[in-house]
A and B are shown apart, each in its own frame.
Chain A
C-alpha cells in the first residue's frame, strides 16, 4: 500500500524548514531518462540532458476539446494559420497574427522520440506518430520537451498549478508520484508543494506537539481532527506514526503529527493557519520572493507586492488555435498582451501595467525568479547592451507587472483583467494565499 522504493531522500526536516526537497516513489524508467528536482514542481521526469518532460492533456473548452487524448499525438510541425473557434463568441477561421513568424507546435514542443528498438517499461510506452516517428508516452500521454527550458530542473514550459476550465489546454510537467501514504495528495501552489488530503483539504501541524506526542486532545481534537493511520500502515522515510491512545494511530510527517481543520470552509482552504500555533505543511517550499518584494493583505487573501506594497500581476495567454500555443512569454507574439494592457499601444501599457523594474545589478537567489532585459517597445527580450532596455523582474521567465489602477497596498483592482477573466489573455494577481477562489487564479 505504501511504496517500498523511494527516490532521492532528503534529510528529514520539520515541515517549515526551508530547503526541504520532496521525496518521490521510484518508478521503472527507460534507459536515458531520469528524475530532476525542481524548485516549483517537485520531482519531474527529464530526458538524458535533464530537460523536463511535459504532457498535453485533453482539455474541454467551450466549443470542443484541445490537447491530446491518451495514445494520440496531436502536436506536429504544421503551422496553423487560423483560429479554431474553441472559445465563443468569436467564430473559427480568423487569421492568426504574425503568420510570417508563427511557430508550429513542434517548434515549441519537440516530441520525445523513441529509438526503433525502444521497449515499453512500466507506464512508459511508445506510440507511432503520423509522420512515421515513434514517441515516448507516460501513462499513455505523449511526452514533449519545452524549448523554453534551458537547464536541468527548469519548468518554464508549464506548471501543474490548478487552472480554470476556460484556460488554454496547457502543457504540464510530469513526474514520479510523491512519496506519500494513501489518503494524502500534494498540490503545487505559489508558495510551495502543499500537503493535503486526497479530498484536497489542507493538513496542519501544531507547534506544541512533539515527534512522539500530540498535545491536541479533547476540545482541541474536535476542531483539529487527527489524520489517522490504518492498522496495517507502517512508518517509512519522512513518515511516522504516533499512537494517540491505544489503537488510535496518527500520521506524522517530518516528525510532526498531522490534522485537518473542521472549520476550513472548503477544499484548498488555508484558514486554519490563522490560528496561533497551527501551520500548513509543505513537502517543499517555493523559493523565497525577491528581497525587495512584500506581502499584502487584500479582501481575498494575501498577494505578492512590490517594495511599495503594490500588487504584482502575471500575464497569462494562450491562443485560440488548435495547438493552443502560448502568447505569454517574451519569445511569443506580443499582440495579445499589448491589446489588453494598452489597447495596442506599448506606451499606454507602460503606464497602465508597468513592469516591475529591478535595480541595476540585482541578482535573484532562485531560478523561479530572475531579472531579464526587455525591449519596452516590443515586449520581447532585449540585448543587455540595448539602449533603453528595461531590466525587469520575471517569474518563470515571464515579466511581472503592477497595475496603474491600484491606488494603495492591498488593492487588486487589476485581477481578472482580460479575456475569460484573464485565463486566456489577461492579468492575474500573484496570489500567495486565497481564501475564496480555490487556487484557480
Chain B
C-alpha cells in the first residue's frame, strides 16, 4: 500500500523532479534509525548495471591458454577458401553461415583451445568435487563453470577489450530491455540475516547517472515492468552472512539480454546469487546451468559474423565446444546434456523499486511473485 501510494505520487511528477527526489533520497539512503545497514521497512532494491560471463584471466593468458587463442570466422574462412574468388557465394559465405545457424556437435575441423589450469571463478553448483571441477582462486573446491572452459581462450570474451565483454556488458546499462532488478524484503540487517526474500523483476526506466551519463548513481527509481515483463518475475529465499547474500536456487530464470537490437535472453536453470551487499550497491555472481542452445542463439542473434570476427569468435567451433562441455540436464531421449554450468560477474546499484498500484495490478504482481 505504501509502495502504491508512492507510485501514484511519483506518476504525477516530471522526470526532472523525480531525479531530484531520487538524488535527495540517495543521500538519505533508505535506512532506518540512521544505520545504513538496516533498510527502511526491511526492503532494498538493486538494479543491474554490469553482467558478463566470469572469466579467470592471468595477465599474459599463458596459464589458462598455453596454446594461444582460437581463430575466428575470418581466419577460418581464409584457411578454408584461399581461392574464394573462384568459388560461389553458396560454396563459401553461405556454407559458413549455414554451419553457424544450423550448428552441429560433429567434430570440429579446427583445433579448439579450452581453458587449462585448475582455477576458475564460479560456485559449486552440485555440491560435489569432481575431476572436471575447478578451484576458486580463494581455494574453494568443486567450482562448476564449463562455460569458462569454452570461452576463456576466445579473445572476444576476455576483458577489458574483448568485443563481447565490451558490448554485452555495456548493453546491460544502456538498454531498458535488460533492466533486471533484485529486491530484498524482510531484511533486518544487510550484515547478517538468516531469512530474506529475494524477488527478481524487470524495470521500465532509464538508469540514474551522474552528469557525465557514464556512472550509474544509487537512489534512482525504477517502475516494475508489468506490461511486458511480468513473466520474468521470480522469487526465492536467501540468507545474509557477513554482508554476503546467498540465495536458494530458482528452477529457471530468464535474463533479458539484448545487445544489438535483437530481443534475446539467457535461460539459467538452478540459478542462485552470491552478492556482497552494501546500502548503495551489490556485486558478485549469478550462477547456474545455462541452456546451451539459448546461450548460443543469444550470441549469434545479437552479433553478426562481422561482430564475431572482431572477437575471433567462431560460432561454429564454439557451439561444438558448448555441446561437448555441457554437464547438466540430459535430454531424456538422447542422453546428451542440454545445459552447461556457468557463472556471471554482476554488479548492481541501489534503486527505489516502484511497485504497481491498484488492486488488480497488485494482485497480478503477487500472483507472479508466488508462481515460481
Taking Cβ atoms with an 8 Å cutoff, the residues of A that contact B are 62, 82-83, 87-91, 93-97, 164, 166, 219, 222-223, 262-263, 265, 271, 274, 297-301, 319-320, 335-336, 339-340, 342-344, 348, 410, 412-413, 415-422, 425, 435-438, 440-441
Closest A residue, CB atoms, query B74: A89
13 more CB-based (< 8 A) A-B contacts, given A83-B93, A410-B231, A436-B263: A95-B86, A223-B12, A262-B14, A265-B205, A299-B228, A299-B229, A299-B256, A300-B228, A301-B228, A319-B89, A335-B89, A421-B262, A441-B262
Return chain A residues, CB-CB under 8 Å to B101. 340, 343, 417-418
Contact pattern, B 256-267, Cβ under 8 Å of A = 1, otherwise 0: 101011111100
| Smallest CB-CB A-B distances: 6 pairs | A416-B262, A416-B301, A93-B85, A343-B102, A89-B309, A300-B263
B202 (CB) vs chain A CBs: closest residue: A299
List, sorted by A's number, 20 A–B pairs whose CB atoms are closer than 8 Å.
Answer: A90-B84, A90-B92, A90-B93, A95-B89, A222-B12, A298-B228, A335-B90, A335-B94, A339-B90, A342-B102, A343-B98, A344-B94, A344-B98, A416-B302, A419-B97, A420-B306, A421-B301, A421-B303, A436-B175, A438-B261
Chain B nearest Cβ from A60, distance in angstroms: 14
Residue of A87, A298, A421 near B261 (CB, 8 A) is: A421
Smallest beta-carbon distance B175→chain A, Å: 7
Q: Is B315 an interface residue (CB 8 A)?
A: no
B62 on the interface (CB 8 Å rule)? no
Whether A83 contacts B97 in the complex (CB less than 8 A), given A89-B74, A420-B306, comes out as no
The contact of A415 among B87, B205, B301, by CB within 8 Å, is B301
Nearest B-chain residue to A297, judged by Cβ? B228
A417 touches B85 (CB 8 A): no
Q: Check: B237 CB closer than 8 A to any chain A CB.
A: no
Residues 179-222 of B, flagged 1 when their CB comes within 8 A of A and 0 if not, give 00000000000000000000000001110000000000000000
In the complex, B166 has a CB within 8 A of chain A? no
Give the chain A neighbours of B98 by CB distance below 8 A: 339-340, 343-344
Bound complex: CA A438 to CA B309 (Å): 26
B88 / chain A contacts, CB cutoff of 8 Å: 94-97
Q: Within the complex, what minimum Cβ distance (angstroms) separates B86 from chain A? A: 8
Roughly how many angstroms separate A344 CA and B88 CA in the complex, as a whole number? Answer: 14
B260: chain A residues at CB < 8 Å are: 421
CA distance A415 to B265 in the complex (A): 12
The residue of chain A having its C-beta at the shortest distance from the C-beta of B256 within the complex is A299
Give a binary string over B138-165; 1 marks a CB under 8 Å from any A CB, 0 the rest.
Answer: 0000000000000000000000000000
> Are B177 and A300 neighbours in the complex by a CB distance under 8 Å?
yes
Which chain B residue shows the least CB distance to A82?
Answer: B85
Question: In the complex, A270 Cα to B205 Cα: how many Å?
Answer: 14
A-B contact count (CB 8 A): 138
Interface status of B6 (Cβ within 8 A of chain A): no
Also in contact, A222 and B89, with CB within 8 A (given A297-B228, A336-B94, A416-B262): no
Closest partner residue, chain A, to B206 (CB atom): A265
Question: Which residue of B90, B102, B176 is within 8 Å of A265 (Cβ)?
Answer: B176
Residues of B within 8 A of A83 (CB): 89, 93
> A379: shortest Cβ distance to chain B, in Å?
15
B110 at the interface (CB under 8 A from A): no
Using CB atoms, name the residue of chain B closest to A301: B228
When distances are taken between beta carbons in the complex, the residues of chain A under 8 Å from B177 are: 299-300, 436
Is B111 on the interface with A (CB-CB < 8 A)?
Answer: no
Q: What's the Cα separation between A383 and B11 when bound, in Å?
A: 58
Does B263 lie within 8 Å of A299, measured CB to CB? Answer: yes
Would you give the shortest CB distance from A199 to chain B, in whole angstroms? 16
Q: What chain B residues lie within 8 Å of A271 (beta carbons)?
A: 227
> CA of A3 to CA of B345 in the docked complex: distance in angstroms?
58
- Closest Cβ neighbor of B18 among chain A residues: A263
Which residues from chain B contact A97 at a C-beta distance below 8 Å?
Answer: 88-90
Q: Within the complex, which residue of A263, A412, A421 is in contact with B304, where a contact is CB–CB below 8 Å?
A: A421
Q: How far is the CA of A413 from the CA of B267 in the complex (A)?
A: 12
The reply to whether A415 and B84 contact each other, CB–CB distance below 8 Å, is no
Tell me whether A421 and B229 are in contact (CB under 8 A): no
Distance in Å from the Cβ of A35 to the closest Cβ of chain B? 34
Question: Whole-angstrom distance between the alpha carbons of A90 and B231 in the complex?
Answer: 40
Tell me the bound Cα distance from A251 to B240 in angstroms. Answer: 57
CB <8 Å contact, A415 and B262: yes
Interface status of B73 (Cβ within 8 A of chain A): yes
CA distance A265 to B176 in the complex (A): 9
Give CA–CA (A90, B11) in the complex, Å: 51
Chain A residues positioned under 8 Å from B205 (CB to CB): 265
Chain A nearest Cβ from B369, distance in angstroms: 18
